[in-house]
Each structure stands twice: as structure tokens, then as C-alpha cells.
Amino acid sequence: MSNANVTKPVFLAEDTIAQPELYELCDWMLAGNRLTKGEQTLAFEEEFRDWMGSKHAIFTNSGSSSNLLMIFALKEAGLLRNNKAIAAAVSWVTTVSPLMQFGFDISLCDCDTTNLGLDLNHLEHLCKTEQPSVLILVHVLGHANHMAEIQEICDRYGVLVLEDSCEALGSTSGGKKLGSHGIAGSFSFYYGHHISTIEGGMVVTDDDDLNQIMLSLRSHGWSRDLSEERRIEMTRNHDVDAFRNLYTFYYPGFNLRSTDLQAFIGRSQLKKLDGIVEVRERNFGLYKGSLPDFYAQSGPTETLSSFAYGTFVENRLEVFNHLKEEQIECRPLICGNIGRHPFWTRKNGTCDLPNADKVHDFGIYLPNHNNLSPTDITRVANAFNSVARPHNTA
């Protein structure tokens, strides 16, 4: 029976880890290499650090854990003057939930209408009225926030900036990769992201002390992963002898480690990353040219490592059902306004965030990954155009 007329589905993510990489991984495993955290993890951290242009990188078991780690590390480092925080309303649950879990008083910041990052006027209002100690922003679908303006506002009010860059691996702004602008930045290597370690994530920072604290917090709060100088200092300060040294806990830590198996995959993925970024940027341009009547993000992004193509439609459910019939995956634009999800409203009620509400009610995003061809993009755009009605974002 011929399969000539069978149309291949278009997925949101596909073959992130290629078959040759899996064969290479199998050979490495069968050679008897250590699978738990070890030399591969250290090598992956060094290579990722250098690729980012950052001073330090810490490999974790997920992007969510990366957010948890860098937020708690700020508390343990004594860098926060209070327990108040600002978080992006257009974000992900684990951008915000660590702040809730650690008892922060959280204000959600509305989104910018062009890049879907932070609205500058609302941000300044919150900084002025709430006097928070920390901000966590999101580079939505790979598009840069107005980082220079955000940093100026936060510097003026004494607010530390964290970047959730899980959707922006490889995007740049101001001559720097996103994730390297604030005091720390997080990344995700989940299967549906730019590169994958199956599950996994990374934190980058240029702050030496924060790096040491995160290394300890990642592994129970002990000192085994720290620099020799830091280990000696801690044992002296706390009068810890050689017998107790490996089993003394200096911080109330977690186990957020990933494995050498995943680091091995990450190292092979990293070799492809520049090419992945190029294809994703090309695909974004093709979508934009094919959907002239629909909203497209824009902003101060220089290199755009597009995560997906976001737009707004009046008839979202109809579009979803039509694309599903055409074997094309799509989904809400991240998850809309995080302030309208039950975990938030149950505790905090609703808040007035008109721009984020538009994302929540009308946002939809289309697939973009490095395995999509121009023909695939044309097919998705034609199917989308045949039924979608643009939403006026003005």
C-alpha cells in the first residue's frame, strides 16, 4: 500500500536528540562510564559557560530547578533586603512558584505589547510602590525584553534582576546573550526546547559568591563541589574536621543535580546549537512573511533564537481544531497570564493586567524548531491563514 498521500505531522518539537547522538551515547554508556554527576557534568558546564560568555554555569535537573536554585541562592547569600518580588505575568508556573514556596510577597508585572516581556511603565510603578528586592523576567518565545531600560529602573530602585531565559537560548540583545544580563539567568534543556538533555537545565552567573552557594545548594548544602579555597574557609569557620567534612551541611540544600549521562548528551547538543539558532531565526522570518495580517513579536533582539511563532486570533478554539485536523500542533502562548491560573487566584485573587489578559484570551503559538523546512512553514501558515481571524491588539 502506498504512503505517497500521507501527510507528515508537524509537531511543536521533534527529534531534538538525533539518532546518531543516541548511538554515541549508547557506546559511551556500554563502555562502563560513570553515569551519575562527574567529569561530563564539569565539562558541559565549562563548555556552556564559554558559549554563553559567562563566568560560571551550574548544570541542574531542569529549568524549573534552575529558577528555584537561583532564587533561593539570593536569600542564602543575604542579597535580599526584604521578601518582596516582581515576576512577569506572561511566564511559566515555575518562574513564579519558587517565590511563593519561599514566602515572597509577589507582584505580577504586565507585559509589553510588542515583545511580550515586561511593560516598563508598570515595572517602574511596582518598583516605586512595592520596593521589592528582586525581579524575575521572561524572554517570551526568545524575544528580548528592553533590558537596558529594565536594568536602569532596577538599579535606581535597588532591585536585583533574574532572567528566565528558558525560551531564549541563543538570542542576543545589547551584544550579549540573553540570560547573561542580570545577576543570574536560567535555561531549560527539556525535550521541547532548543537543545535537550532529556530533562535538565542550567544557571549562569558572573557572581563568584553566588556561584559557590548554588553549587552547594544544588547538592544537599555540602561543600564537596566548591572551590578548594571555599571548602577550606568553611571548614575553618565551622571547626569541621576531616572525618566530618564530607557529611557536613552548610546550607539547607536540595538535590537538583543532573547526571553525566545527560551532560554527555548536552555536550553533543551544544555542538549543534549555533546552527539550530540560525534555522529558528530563518523560520521566524518565513512565518512573518507568510502571516502579514497577524501580530508578530518585535523588540530589541539582535539574534533571535525563536522558540515558536506567537500571534493573536479571535477564534482560537476553531484554529486549534482546524490545525489538529491538519496534523499540526499548536498551543496557548506559553500559558497566558499566570495571574489567572488556579494556583495564583486561589491564594491572591485576580489582578488587573490588560496586556497579559490579551495573551491569555487570544494568544496562540505555532511550531518552530530546527527540523522544520521552509515547506513545512508554508504548510502551517497556509492552514493557519485559511481559518484564523486576527485579533486587534491595539
Structural domains in the chain, CATH included, are: 19-270 (3.40.640.10), 274-385 (3.90.1150.10)
> Backbone phi, then psi, for 212, in 5-degree steps?
-65, -40
pLDDT tier for residue 393 given thresholds of 50, 70 and 90: low
pLDDT tier for residue 2 given thresholds of 50, 70 and 90: very low
Tell me how far apart the alpha carbons of residues 269 and 107 are, in angstroms, rounded to a whole number. Answer: 37
Could you tell me what percent of the chain has a pLDDT over 90? Answer: 97
- In this prediction, residue 392 carries a pLDDT of 76
Tell me how far apart the alpha carbons of residues 200 and 125 are, in angstroms, rounded to a whole number. Answer: 35
**Distances from the Cα of 387 to the Cαs of 86, 229, 392, in angstroms?**
38, 63, 16
Q: What's the burial of 4, exposed, middle or buried (CB within 10 Å: 0-12/13-18/19+)?
A: exposed
Name residues whose C-beta falls within 8 Å of residue 18's C-beta, 6 or more positions apart in sequence: none
- Contact status, residue 143 vs residue 301, Cβ threshold 8 Å: yes
CA atoms in the 13 A half-sphere facing the CB of 57: 24
Whole-structure pTM value: 0.96
Digit-coded pLDDT (tens) for 222-270: 999 999 999 999 999 999 999 999 999 999 999 999 999 999 999 999 9
- Contact status, residue 73 vs residue 66, Cβ threshold 8 Å: no
**Distances from the Cα of 136 to the Cαs of 89, 113, 198, 357, in angstroms?**
10, 18, 25, 19
- In this prediction, residue 147 carries a pLDDT of 98
Name residues whose C-beta falls within 8 Å of residue 7's C-beta, 6 or more positions apart in sequence: 326, 327
When pLDDT is averaged across residues 154-172 and rounded to a whole number, the result is: 98
Q: Three cell numbers at 106? A: 509577589
**Distances from the Cα of 94 to the Cαs of 63, 99, 308, 320, in angstroms?**
9, 9, 20, 26
When pLDDT is averaged across residues 314-335 and rounded to a whole number, the result is: 98
Name residues whose C-beta falls within 8 Å of residue 295's C-beta, 6 or more positions apart in sequence: 310, 311, 312, 390, 391, 393
When pLDDT is averaged across residues 367-381 and rounded to a whole number, the result is: 98
- In this prediction, residue 128 carries a pLDDT of 98
Q: What is the rounded average pLDDT for all residues in the chain?
A: 96
- In this prediction, residue 1 carries a pLDDT of 38
- In this prediction, residue 6 carries a pLDDT of 57
CB atoms within 10 A of CB 122: 21
Tell me how far apart the alpha carbons of residues 333 and 321 are, in angstroms, rounded to a whole number. Answer: 16
When pLDDT is averaged across residues 349-360 and rounded to a whole number, the result is: 96
pLDDT tier for residue 221 given thresholds of 50, 70 and 90: very high
- In this prediction, residue 4 carries a pLDDT of 45
